[in-house]
């Protein structure tokens, strides 16, 4: 069966990884989405309450499978330090993902998949395919009416004098990158039409509350993307929207923990 996947972020490449084993896959990559500006925190208890998320264990196991396939250089498996209610806690299973390296590594690991650099504007362009999988994030709402909402997220690219070997999570978070001396500080949650750079710059003060050396960070750039998540709850959406089209979307800020699991589930739903 010939399957077109629209979008080459976390969800699109996870779907390609699992579907390629039994189908002929073409991925249409239309540009940079939210996955490409992710700060890379992967652990089982996201959210302010720090409680294990739905399907946390399955999500972690599935994500680690894809991370290993993409290559050891794409992530750090050395835990995450969380600051909660004034206490410092270690999340030993926490992983820091270098998003750009991970996406490039997973793309390379998806042997046999064809990649086309093209933004699909009409589903009629894909009439030659047997099935279509939309993993287009916020753009999914232009294809179908779904119970989803948009949230802008910004993070800072910073130069730091002191090395940060492990990700730090509190009110905001700091993650090391593959580049020595460069870290990411995130993230905002803005329900507006456009990102506000001033809100992004306030992230420095937030993270300085649990990591005072952040005051010395030098901001090099501000990255922004649009997350899409369910209007109620936080479980991603895997839904058939017509006879040949599926939507895999609504991951919000939990894309890393759910993308591989939902890619696997989608592969089990499609006919052979």
Q: How far apart are CA 152 and CA 146, in angstroms?
A: 18
The answer to whether the predicted template modeling score (pTM) of the entire model surpasses 0.85 is yes
Q: What is the overall mean pLDDT for the chain?
A: 93
- pLDDT tens column, 153-200: 999 999 998 899 999 999 999 999 999 999 999 999 999 989 999 999
14-65 tens-digit pLDDT: 999 999 999 999 999 987 677 878 999 999 998 877 889 999 999 999 999 9
250, 237 Cβ separation under 8 angstroms: yes
- Residue-wise pLDDT for 226-241, tens only, equals 999 999 989 999 999 9
Yes or no: say if 36 and 99 are a contact pair by the CB < 8 Å rule. Answer: yes
**CA-CA distance, 150 to 136, in Å (whole number)?**
13
For 2-269, CATH gives 3.50.50.60
Average pLDDT over residues 193-209: 95
Which residues, in sequence order, are CB contacts of 160 under 8 Å at separation 6+?
181, 182, 183, 213, 214, 216, 217
> Rounded to whole angstroms, what are the CA distances from 257 to 56, 61, 74, 194?
7, 9, 15, 27
pLDDT of the residue at 255 = 94
Residue extents of the structural domains in the chain: 2-269
Range with lowest mean pLDDT among 4-18, 140-154, 191-205, 212-226: 140-154
Helical residues (DSSP H) of 31-142, grouped into ranges:
56-70, 99-109
* Sign for the pseudo-dihedral over CA of 222, 223, 226, 227: negative
Tell me what pLDDT residue 51 has: 85
């Amino acid at each position: 069966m010939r399957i077109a996947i629209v979008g080459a972020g976390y969800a699109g490449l996870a779907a390609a990884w699992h579907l390629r084993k039994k189908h002929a896959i073409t991925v249409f990559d239309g540009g940079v989405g939210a996955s490409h500006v992710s700060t890379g925190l992967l652990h089982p208890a996201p959210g302010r309450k720090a409680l294990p998320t739905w399907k946390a264990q399955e999500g972690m196991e599935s994500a680690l499978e894809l991370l290993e396939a993409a290559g050891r250089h794409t992530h750090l498996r050395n835990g995450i330090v969380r600051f909660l209610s004034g206490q410092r806690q270690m999340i030993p299973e926490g992983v820091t993902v270098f998003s750009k390296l991970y996406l490039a590594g997973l793309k390379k690991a998806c042997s046999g998949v064809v990649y086309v650099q093209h933004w699909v504007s009409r589903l009629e362009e894909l009439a030659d395919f047997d099935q279509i999988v939309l993993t287009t994030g916020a753009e999914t709402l232009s294809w179908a009416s779904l119970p989803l909402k948009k949230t802008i997220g910004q993070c800072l690219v910073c130069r730091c004098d002191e090395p940060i070997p492990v990700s730090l999570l509190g009110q905001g978070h700091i993650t090391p990158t593959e580049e020595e001396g460069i870290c990411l500080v995130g993230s905002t949650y803005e329900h507006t039409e456009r990102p506000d750079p001033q809100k992004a710059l306030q992230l420095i003060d937030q993270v300085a509350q649990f990591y005072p050396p952040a005051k010395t960070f030098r901001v090099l750039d501000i990255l922004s993307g649009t997350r899409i998540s369910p209007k109620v709850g936080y479980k991603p959406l895997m839904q058939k929207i017509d006879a040949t089209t599926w939507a895999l979307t609504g991951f919000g800020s939990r894309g890393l923990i759910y993308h591989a699991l939902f890619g696997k589930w989608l592969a089990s739903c499609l006919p052979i």
